[in-house]
Structure 1
């Protein structure tokens, strides 16, 4: 019996809502009737449902999807139908869910100075960055070309940078935060926000869309107070001064109504932005925990080429990541920092989920922080902790975090960990004894990737981010120092490498966007390299010697800055 001949279309469409995309594709190949029903008559209704795509329903003009600016690889360019959108999102999700996802790589270097903080803007196709020596650089995301910059007299060395949808903030001296409007062609100062106490940290977010879009800047001081600024088009005004305990370490995060401050040994404190009311404290020592552990993997992911200037994304490969196993139970051995003595750094909100990292190498996962705060000091197993192999060296900057789509990214030693969570944001052992058919949600695979070209040269990552189709982070590498010669008539001439190799930090982009045109997948060594600059020839032996020398006498000056 053919359901198409026996059942009304409305009922079939309702059933199809629960049909996996792979089964839907199989139905289109069953016969002409099914193909016509799915891919012709009801294509938009079927492929635009919330379970099939995660773009606004009923999309006919996909220009808005491109303008949303969510993709480094321009993965959503040239989409013509909801079916095409569904296909691309399904392929991307499948790649993210692989224990060794297929990746392409690009290293973006900005000038000769090491990058300190950076922020990408996929809509405007720019990368903003500050450096160890000062200044702000705005670079083209696609070519790496410097578009414009501000010198160190405007932006101090090791300046912390925040950015959201055309508005940038950085700290000027200890008490103030400068607010600027930023575009591809230049920027303009909006105002300087001064404080009567030392600024310890700040975070900028943009909420809403269209005319209802609003920017919110939250600032924290270690002297017992926080500040909330809100406004349109970056014209921020102080709306609330919040009294908090002294000793805030500088890390904070926010959503539309709540700001959370890290208090080091005292955990994380949550406050309502509008009223300044304390909503609760997340103290892992008091909350009661379910414990897991993850050993640093023996097999390390392949690292980027050291020298030169990379042209394009290179070839696809699976060896830029290595699988990471999460096991249930306490970390073996008794040399761990105790939970009551551990110091908590960066923390992040994502809906009901809250995550944080500690100096002792712990990842805290709270699937429902609202419930935990409501429980107050009652001991409930509302948080989970993963103990990791760490000596605390990557915590010099208080740890960096990123959380997106049921994944958490943070740094341990010389690697970046990407921990996969379940659909309800719980940690799950990589090889659970129970199976999915018993009603247990299985976690996404976890894996690692590198932070530098050699473990001996690893410096703490000073920014990292999970995005829809890529992973971005600072990356310690070696490079030629170069300058651009003057061409005819004063025009920019060719790049000329100087006879000096130096250690620096660049932006590394690990793209997970799948191939759409059938390009052959490359396993193992992909061979994607960097185009050498003219006039310099460095042998492999010379590079190994240089790496050994840098590793022995590594200068960390400034790496503990704010």
Structure 2
């Protein structure tokens, strides 16, 4: 029998390179870094001989499996800061991703703020397009605006005679083109696409923001909402109908009217919130929960009914207190905007700060003042609740209610009673096993509670609105809730306005690779200031609703010129 190797022998001398590489595949980045400092041989093995093999592994860098060139990663990243531009090696990409992840891991992560308030001062809906570096938005006054993401200059627009006030906006990439959909009076939807095809020509200059009309989709019933993703546009009516259009033709050189591929019969009184994946479309029906249908056949495949999930997994979150509980709006915000007082509360654009995010904690069970779980999960309470926005992300489903409840369902397709391989009994059991309920409770009078209707899931983080705050709730790598004071992935919240008195429900918010974006209520001078003193000037400040972006990317001095407006030319 061979004797074991002596203790302390270098694995590089003992094991084949293939085995060492396999071990390093399971080693965290911090461990890889430590190994490079062990000896010259380890440094050469990791950082010279096998650098690309080690750092290109999916365990070290997040990227699409087919990516071969790290310098092209920025083309698939949804990054506001351009923090992945200029990457030349897998190691450099790993470093930049690690720095971004490290900031997300802080209880109070550092952020830089950008507020876009040019041209469209009453933003209703908006969407960012990172490939073209533009924002597309509709307005409360009417009109559609395309604004450069870097200079904030208007590249193209449609006036209020062409786009109605408070128009909803859907936006997605289809092939090399961006497609925008907005509604007009009379239950019709307009489909537009970019003139430039990103797969054919570079998206630069003003041309990158010019759109052309593809089609107008008319309906003979009241349309309540619509959603665009997976190359399909799903439309819902309050009158028990659903429509699914194939928009893949928008990617081609010719203008082709999107065909209607499925006409569905659904429950009546849909409230307008809907989401889809490649196979299913999910409609919110208020007190009836969330109904799911096949996109191909239109058949009903089951429902997520929160009142049936039981009280097994109950949690709560206490609402963070106001940042300025004892000062008035006029004493705090107006002097700060005029630059005479309160300057310490005003963060200039792109100034890094840890003050914009406050930590939040998920605790097990109902709130302390509740004597029983009924405050969250009693069947009678849940049956009376109104369920609003719902979203699907892989195996994860999330929904929010008017009473401040969040339902999170893992492996949600197993909870559908009519899906292939499922039964009513197995679906009911799966819902009880996989569903969690959270009550988000403000500290003050709950009768004033108002839950916003927007929701987003990205990278196992859930974005939703509670009162004057946006919550960023982090799940673990297995999509489980994290409780207590020291979660592996912290959760936090930010304000929806520059002052709590200005807060109104956000009309769009979303989370991307390095930032969170949302509509933001602040103050601006909308008419001639006039007068010579601060009081005369202050009287002419009015609230506006703008686009706000909070970037989590590490501050890079080399990027400041781009972020300050010297990026793509308008």
Q: Which TM bucket (shorter chain)?
A: 0.7 to 0.9
CA distance change for structure 1 residues 342 and 59 in 2, over 3 Å: closer, same or farther? closer
Q: In structure 2, how many angstroms separate the alpha carbons of the residues matched to 1:380 and 1:58?
A: 38
Question: What are the equivalent positions in structure 2 for 1:85-234 lying under 5 Å apart?
Answer: 85-111=93-119, 113-165=121-173, 166-182=178-194, 184-205=208-229, 207=230, 215-234=231-250
Residues 83-482 of structure 1: matches in 2 within 5 Å?
A: 83-111=91-119, 113-165=121-173, 166-182=178-194, 184-205=208-229, 207=230, 215-234=231-250, 235=256, 236-289=258-311, 290-298=313-321, 300=323, 307=337, 313-333=349-369, 338-373=381-416, 374=422, 375-378=426-429, 380-390=432-442, 391=446, 395=450, 399-431=453-485, 444-481=489-526
SS in 2 for 1:371: helix
SS class of match (1:370): helix
Deviation of 1:332 (Å): 3.7
> How many pairs are equivalent?
490
Task: Work out the CA distance in 2 between the residues paired with 1:57 and 1:199.
Answer: 39
Farther-moved stretch of structure 1 (233-242 vs 54-63): 54-63
Q: Distance in 2 between matches of 1:513 and 1:447?
A: 16
Q: How far apart are residue 299 of structure 1 and its match?
A: 5.8
Identify the range of structure 1 (304-313 vs 47-56) with the bigger mean alpha-carbon deviation. Answer: 304-313
Aligned to 1:502: 542
Aligned residue runs from structure 1 range 72-91, under 5 A:
72-91=80-99
For 1:405 and 1:376, the matched residues in 2 are separated by 26
Kept in 1, the 8 Å contact 2:188–2:217? The answer is yes
Residue 523 of structure 1 corresponds to none
Q: Deviations over 1:439-484 (max 9, x none)?
A: xxx552111100011111110000000000000000000011269x
- Say which is worse superposed, 442-451 or 506-515, in terms of deviation: 442-451
2:145 alignment partner, SS class: strand
After superposition, the Cα gap between the structure-2 partners of 1:222 and 1:301, relative to the gap in structure 1 and judged at 3 Å, is farther
| Superposition deviation, residue 300 in structure 1 | 3.4
Q: Offset at 1:96?
A: 1.1
| TM-score, normalised by the number of residues in structure 2 | 0.81
The structure-2 alpha-carbon separation of the partners of 1:313 and 1:156, relative to structure 1 and needing over 3 Å to count, comes to same
Q: Go from structure 1 to structure 2 and tell me whether the alpha carbon gap of 1:66 and 1:182 turns closer, same or farther (over 3 Å shift).
A: same
Q: 1:84 to 1:67 in 2, by over 3 A?
A: same
Question: 1:160-201: per-residue Cα shift (whole Å, max 9, x none)?
Answer: 000002100001114111000135342111001111111100
In 2, the alpha carbon distance for the partners of 1:308 and 1:133 equals 27
SS in 2 for 1:399: strand
Query: Given that residues 308 and 480 in structure 1 are in contact (C-alpha distance below 8 angstroms), is that contact kept between their aligned partners in structure 2?
Result: no
Match of 1:49 in 2: 57
Mapped to 2, the partners of 1:73 and 1:402 lie a distance apart of 20
Output the CA distance in 2 between the equivalents of 1:35 and 1:304.
Answer: 54
Change (3 A) 1:331 1:311: closer
Deviates more, 1:34-43 or 1:289-298: 289-298
How many angstroms does 1:18 deviate by? 0.7
User: Do the aligned partners of 1:301 and 1:448 also contact (CA within 8 Å) in 2?
Assistant: no
- Tell me if the contact between 2:338 and 2:538 (Cα under 8 Å) persists in the aligned partners: no
Q: Tell me the TM-score normalised to structure 1 length.
A: 0.82
8 A Cα contact 1:358 1:395, kept in partner: no
Q: Distance in 1 between matches of 2:23 and 2:167?
A: 55
Unaligned runs of 5+ in 2: 1-8, 196-207, 251-255, 326-331, 340-345, 417-421, 529-536, 565-570
- Deviations 1:323-363 (Å, cap 9, x if unpaired)? 00111001344595822211010010000000011110111
In the TM superposition, residue 276 of structure 1 has moved relative to its aligned partner by 1.0
More helix by share: 2
Structure 1 segments unaligned to the other structure (5+ residues): 208-214, 433-441, 484-496, 520-528, 530-562
Contact kept? 1:307, 1:480, Cα under 8 Å: no
Given that residues 48 and 59 in structure 1 are in contact (C-alpha distance below 8 angstroms), is that contact kept between their aligned partners in structure 2?
A: no
